[in-house]
Chain A
Amino acid sequence: MTDAAFSALGSLADPSLLLMLAIGVLAGLVIGLIPGLGGTGAVAILLPVTFGMDPEPALAMLIGALAVVHTSDTVAAVLLGAPGSASASVTMLDGYSMARQGQAKRALSLAFLSSMAGGLIGAVGLTLAIPLARPLVLSFGSPELFMLTVLGVSLAAVLSRGNVVKGLTAGFLGLLLGLVGTSPTTAEERFSFGSLFLSDGLSLVAVALGVFGLAEIASRVGQRRVTEKPVALTGGWGSGIREWLTHWTHVIRGSLIGIWAGILPGVGATAGTWLAYGQAVATAKDKRKFGKGDPRGIVGPESANNSVEAGDLIPTFLFGIPGGVPSAMLLGMLLTYGIQPGPAIVTDHLDLMYLIVWAFAIASVAGAFLCFLATGSLAKLTKVPFAVLGPGLLVVMLLGAYQEGGQLGDLWVMVALGVAGFFLKATGMPRAPFLIGFVLAIPMERYYYLTASLYEGTEWMTRPGVLAFAALLVVPVLWSLVKKLRATSGAADDGHRDEHESEGVAGDELEGSLAGTPWSAAVAVVAVIVFGGALWMSGSFSEEARLMPRLVAGFGLVAALVLICQEARARLRGAGGHPVEDVHEPVGGSGATGLATRVRPSADTPALTRHHDLVIAARTFAAMAAFLVLVMVGGYLAATLVFTPAFLLYAARARPRTAIVYTLVLGLVLLSLPSLLPVDLPTGLLQ
């Protein structure tokens, strides 16, 4: 095992691998600096570039970027008070206040060092996980693997923030989408509507980039520009470095929390950092300074948010269950190389695993070092408005989705799913279970049929591994029941240390902004229709192919119906309008009015911004569709040359000079890309 580790290190001495790692690190740092792009964005942008490379350099590049995204996202959080990614919003609490007190360098050096340590500890965790999990993974048969896939989807649905029913609905929708295409057991086409394109199944890259990437672009293009002047970079690096050493326990605790949050599917960097912050506050004796520039409020969360990415990789590679969104995309990438994550990777591709570990560790150190060197000059990047980045990102992401199958249909799927992703995001449906469900749908079915044909009847259910996973499966169910009880009884006591609720406030403006409006009810209704239709259609499949779609659609239908009930109830309660009435109750009076009455502030301004967001999103998606039509007619390059300046001038209101230079650079990149990398540009009818 150690030989494999060191031979992997040796292979990193190969200049081409090192070069890819360096490119990945640089790209990751830049992506992290730009507000609104996090780990998901980093993988989404770099993925197209890696198609056609060998797996090693491709992984080195992606892991390099993933490892450092959370190092540089602190810069915007500390200097601007606008987090570079959702997970940096925690650092903003204490980091920004520290910077405003003239100690920006102290805050940044604390953050960079903690990020570095978090990455290193994460890499150690990943290394230790391999020998620990190896015998376990190798002992798994298909029944255990089947249970693991079920566990992956359900954990993701329950653990992702907010409403469990919404999480489950999203998970089932993802599973259903994953079933589109040829059934693995009977080779008959399901939900393909007779189209040859759909019978292949949807490409993971297109789905991931659509639901996350395009939806993100559409929701961010309209985001208000940062007008505040960044805080000056003052204070000494030295003081922060010295102080950091005194907080080493927080670094270790934060990293461990991060790794754990990463391992759990659906709990990503954002929740992980809040957990670390809550933990730091809870264990501190003197809580006075938290939120006003306490170094402990920076150190713990920053370590956690880097180690989350390493933790995410553990279940992804060892079990084939993605721990988060970026790793789900990595999984897709590995599959295109024919590398099957899960037990096989431990036996056949151990060197690749260690390469990942080394790349992660080296990137963490190099990233922190570069941050110290270049923050002063790179901080300007944090001011780039997202609308200007939009067309470039769009062009790159669509190109990426095209590479996998070389079909324009994938791009249309992507835009359609972008619209779906936007509504999921805006109505507060978690998208991680959706993607994880999509990824796991086919493995789940395949393992189930292997199990059913290898074992007599229900014999497989008594295997110890299966029983253990079944027990684990009960935990989230109980947990959601408990959550429900707590919500209905309006319990005053709630000592749980999950800080998920505060995320929505500090994280993203759009996230869940449509929840409780007719829009979210409409999403629930659409979900019911989709599941109902799927249930009806699955009746025509053969016995073997019918089971999974039936189960998924059936359970999904139940979840979606519950969701509609919830929406309706919320609507009724909202219409009834409960003003706070018990003001005149005599002091210490009867305990009869124990109901917690919640005042819903009449929403005029939110309604306006909501409308504004929707209009901008609709326009952006229309622009994307127009771009695709242009691609179909004139080919990719011509479409880019027409679309980019138009979008920049009309949607982003950029200056003409910027638009022209931007377009030319983008065009040149597209022109040179096919000769540098094995990338194909879509061709149009006129070409």
Chain B
Amino acid sequence: MTIVVAYADTPPGHAAVAAAVAESSRERETVIIVPAVRGDAAPDVGEVETRWPDIAGRVEVERGDLGDPSDTVVQIAQRRDARLVVLGLRSRTPVGKLVFGSTAQRILLDATCPVLAVKPTVAGP
């Protein structure tokens, strides 16, 4: 089985990868990182492996064919028959939510497999 991570180079995105690392460690499942911010470059596999050494060797980075990030995440999860989609949530004001819409919400609603939503740990040492 595989786990898909909706990746962003932000604290919530990193928390999502960390959660996926924890989730996948028991069965040694493949973790697929999908960049979920429009216009961002896909992260380098090597960088991800140095940062999260636990998943070295079983992590992949995949870019979809679609323009919209939420569609891309859902599509890749369906194609790879993922067991789980992990995504990071960040706090949003109601107005910000209204204006920008939400990739996270669309993934939650559209995904055809379970979705794990995580928050970054509150800023600490």
- Whether B11 lies near A594 (C-beta < 8 A) is yes
Q: Which of B13, B50, B74, B123 has the most CB of A within 10 A?
A: B74
Give the contacting residue for A288; candidates B8, B39, B79; CB below 8 A. B79
- Whether B105 lies near A495 (C-beta < 8 A) is yes
- Whether B66 lies near A492 (C-beta < 8 A) is no
Question: Contacts A287-B74, A292-B65 hold; do A501 and B41 have CB atoms under 8 A apart?
Answer: no
- Return A390 CB to nearest CB of chain B, in Å: 33
- Whether A495 lies near B9 (C-beta < 8 A) is no
Residues of chain A lying within 8 A (CB to CB) of residue B71: 278, 281-282, 287, 290
- Return A145 CB to nearest CB of chain B, in Å: 32
Known A-B contacts: A492-B103, A588-B121. Give 19 more (CB < 8 A). A278-B68, A285-B112, A287-B66, A290-B65, A290-B71, A290-B75, A291-B65, A292-B65, A482-B100, A493-B100, A493-B102, A493-B103, A582-B9, A583-B50, A584-B50, A585-B14, A596-B8, A598-B40, A598-B41
Residues of chain A lying within 8 A (CB to CB) of residue B38: 494, 501
- Whether A282 lies near B68 (C-beta < 8 A) is yes
Measured in the bound complex, the distance between the Cα atoms of B100 and A495 in whole Å is 6
Q: How many A-B residue pairs have CB under 8 A?
A: 117
Give the contacting residue for A599; candidates B41, B64, B68, B74; CB below 8 A. B41
Measured in the bound complex, the distance between the Cα atoms of B64 and A93 in whole Å is 12
Residues of A316-347 at the interface with B, using a CB-CB cut-off of 8 Å, are none
- State the interface size on chain A (CB cutoff 8 A): 41
- State the interface size on chain B (CB cutoff 8 A): 48
Q: Does B101 contact A (CB under 8 A)?
A: yes
Q: Does A373 contact B (CB under 8 A)?
A: no
Q: Does A2 contact B (CB under 8 A)?
A: no
Mark each residue of chain A from 553 to 588: 1 if its CB lies under 8 Å from any CB of chain B, else 0. 000000000000000000000000000101111011
Q: Does A590 contact B (CB under 8 A)?
A: yes
Q: Does A496 contact B (CB under 8 A)?
A: yes
Mark each residue of chain B from 85 to 99: 1 if its CB lies under 8 Å from any CB of chain A, else 0. 000001010000001
Closest A residue to B52 by beta carbon equals A587
Q: Does A242 contact B (CB under 8 A)?
A: no
Residues of chain A lying within 8 A (CB to CB) of residue B70: 495
Residues of B77-125 at the interface with A, using a CB-CB cut-off of 8 Å, are 78-79, 90, 92, 99-106, 110, 112, 120-121, 123-125
- Whether B92 lies near A493 (C-beta < 8 A) is yes
- Whether A592 lies near B123 (C-beta < 8 A) is yes
A–B Cβ pairs within 8 angstroms, 11 of them? A278-B68, A281-B71, A286-B112, A290-B71, A492-B36, A493-B102, A495-B70, A501-B38, A588-B120, A596-B8, A596-B10
Residues of chain A lying within 8 A (CB to CB) of residue B90: 492-493
- Return A538 CB to nearest CB of chain B, in Å: 39
Measured in the bound complex, the distance between the Cα atoms of B50 and A310 in whole Å is 55
Q: Does A239 contact B (CB under 8 A)?
A: no
Residues of chain B lying within 8 A (CB to CB) of residue A582: 9
Q: Does B28 contact A (CB under 8 A)?
A: no
Measured in the bound complex, the distance between the Cα atoms of B65 and A499 in whole Å is 12
- Whether A492 lies near B68 (C-beta < 8 A) is no
Give the contacting residue for A587; candidates B18, B39, B105; CB below 8 A. B18
Residues of A241-267 at the interface with B, using a CB-CB cut-off of 8 Å, are none
- Whether B64 lies near A291 (C-beta < 8 A) is yes
- Whether A290 lies near B51 (C-beta < 8 A) is no
Give the contacting residue for A494; candidates B11, B69, B78; CB below 8 A. B69
Closest B residue to A277 by beta carbon equals B67
Measured in the bound complex, the distance between the Cα atoms of B74 and A288 in whole Å is 8
Q: Does B27 contact A (CB under 8 A)?
A: no
- Whether A274 lies near B65 (C-beta < 8 A) is no
- Return A396 CB to nearest CB of chain B, in Å: 36
Give the top 7 A-B pairs by smallest Cβ distance, nearest first: A495-B101, A291-B65, A499-B67, A502-B67, A287-B75, A492-B8, A591-B11
- Whether B37 lies near A591 (C-beta < 8 A) is no
Q: Does A597 contact B (CB under 8 A)?
A: yes
- Whether B13 lies near A492 (C-beta < 8 A) is yes
- Whether B123 lies near A496 (C-beta < 8 A) is no
Residues of chain A lying within 8 A (CB to CB) of residue B18: 587-588
Measured in the bound complex, the distance between the Cα atoms of B68 and A502 in whole Å is 9
Residues of chain B lying within 8 A (CB to CB) of residue A482: 99-100
Question: Contacts A278-B67, A495-B70 hold; do A583 and B101 have CB atoms under 8 A apart?
Answer: no
Residues of A within 8 A of B (CB): 93, 274, 277-278, 281-282, 285-288, 290-292, 482, 486, 490-497, 499, 501-502, 580, 582-585, 587-588, 590-592, 594, 596-599
Residues of chain B lying within 8 A (CB to CB) of residue A277: 67
- Return A279 CB to nearest CB of chain B, in Å: 10
- Return A490 CB to nearest CB of chain B, in Å: 8
Question: Contacts A287-B75, A288-B78, A493-B92 hold; do A594 and B10 have CB atoms under 8 A apart?
Answer: yes
Give the contacting residue for A596; candidates B36, B37, B64; CB below 8 A. B37
Q: Does B15 contact A (CB under 8 A)?
A: yes
Measured in the bound complex, the distance between the Cα atoms of B63 and A511 in whole Å is 23
Residues of chain B lying within 8 A (CB to CB) of residue A597: 9
Residues of chain A lying within 8 A (CB to CB) of residue B69: 494
Residues of chain A lying within 8 A (CB to CB) of residue B103: 492-495
- Return A303 CB to nearest CB of chain B, in Å: 19
Question: Contacts A492-B37, A493-B90, A493-B100 hold; do A274 and B10 have CB atoms under 8 A apart?
Answer: no
Measured in the bound complex, the distance between the Cα atoms of B101 and A282 in whole Å is 14
Residues of chain A lying within 8 A (CB to CB) of residue B40: 596, 598
Residues of chain A lying within 8 A (CB to CB) of residue B105: 495
Residues of chain A lying within 8 A (CB to CB) of residue B99: 482
Residues of chain B lying within 8 A (CB to CB) of residue A591: 11, 120, 123
- Return B75 CB to nearest CB of chain A, in Å: 4
- Whether B102 lies near A596 (C-beta < 8 A) is no
Q: Which of B10, B92, B124 has the most CB of A within 10 A?
A: B10
Measured in the bound complex, the distance between the Cα atoms of B83 and A239 in whole Å is 35
Measured in the bound complex, the distance between the Cα atoms of B38 and A501 in whole Å is 8
Residues of chain B lying within 8 A (CB to CB) of residue A493: 90, 92, 100-104
Question: Contacts A494-B37, A495-B105 hold; do A587 and B120 have CB atoms under 8 A apart?
Answer: no
Closest B residue to A580 by beta carbon equals B47
Residues of chain A lying within 8 A (CB to CB) of residue B75: 281, 287-288, 290-291
Residues of chain B lying within 8 A (CB to CB) of residue A584: 50-51
Residues of chain A lying within 8 A (CB to CB) of residue B50: 583-584
Closest B residue to A503 by beta carbon equals B67
- Whether B65 lies near A486 (C-beta < 8 A) is no
Residues of chain A lying within 8 A (CB to CB) of residue B66: 278, 281, 287, 290-291
Measured in the bound complex, the distance between the Cα atoms of B41 and A42 in whole Å is 38
Measured in the bound complex, the distance between the Cα atoms of B9 and A588 in whole Å is 12
Closest A residue to B39 by beta carbon equals A501
- Return B61 CB to nearest CB of chain A, in Å: 14
- Whether B100 lies near A494 (C-beta < 8 A) is yes
Closest A residue to B11 by beta carbon equals A591
Residues of chain B lying within 8 A (CB to CB) of residue A285: 112
Measured in the bound complex, the distance between the Cα atoms of B124 and A590 in whole Å is 6
Measured in the bound complex, the distance between the Cα atoms of B8 and A278 in whole Å is 21
Give the contacting residue for B78; candidates A286, A495, A583, A592; CB below 8 A. A286
